Amino acid sequence: MERAEDGREEWGGEGEGKSGEGKRSGGQDNGREKERQKEKNNSKKQGELAEMMFMVKAARMGFAVAKPYGDSEAYDFIVDVRRGLWRVQVRSSTSLQYGSYGVNLQRHANGQLIPYDASEIDFLVAYVMPCEAWFVIPVEAIAGRSTAKLCLKKNPRSGKLGKYWEAWGLMNWRWPANG
C-alpha cells in the first residue's frame, strides 16, 4: 500500500509483489507523468464545471437543456428553443496566452484532431472563466478552424469572434434545420 499526495492510502499498481514493491519508473519520468495526469484531470474537471455552468445559464435564459447519455456524440447538449433543437458543444478556457484565451475548436476521433462542422453541431458555446464571458458561436463561424482566441486583453468584445459574446439570442433568432 502507498500513501497518496493527499494522505490517503492506495493500493500499488500493476506488478506489485507480496513485498509491496511495485514497478516504478525513474523518478523524473514518473514525476512528469504524474504532472501530465494532474493537468488532464484538472482540464476534465474544468470542462465538467463549464458544462454545469452552461446548463444553469441556458436554463436561466429560458431554454430546456438535455444531456445525452454517454459521450459518443460530437455535442454535449441538446437545447430546445421551442421551434426546434440545437446540438451544442461546450468548451472552456482558463489559460491566458499572448494576451488572449485559447479555445479548442476540434474533437478527437481515432487519434486525430478534427474541426467541428455543421453535420455534427449547430453551436459551439465557449466559456472563458477568468473573464466570466460566454460566447455563443454558430458552427459556420468556426468552420475549418482548430482554435479561437477570445477575450483579447480581457475584452470579450475583441477579436474575430467577439461579436458572439453573450449572443444567446442567436439560438432564438435562427431557424433550426429540424424545426
Range of the domain at 168: 46-172
Rounded to whole angstroms, how far apart are CA atoms 150 and 136? 12
How many Å separate Cα 118 from the centre of its chain? 18
Per cent of the chain over pLDDT 70 is 74
Torsion angle of C-alpha atoms 59, 47, 178, 136, degrees rounded to 10:
70
Query: 20 lies in a domain?
Result: no
At residue 60, the pLDDT reads 94
Q: What domain count does the chain have? A: 1
Model confidence pLDDT, tens digit, residues 41-64: 688 899 999 999 999 999 999 999
Residue 156 lies inside a defined structural domain of this protein: yes
pTM score of the predicted model: 0.75
3-state secondary structure of 102: strand
Q: What is the CATH number of the domain that holds 145?
A: 3.40.1350.10
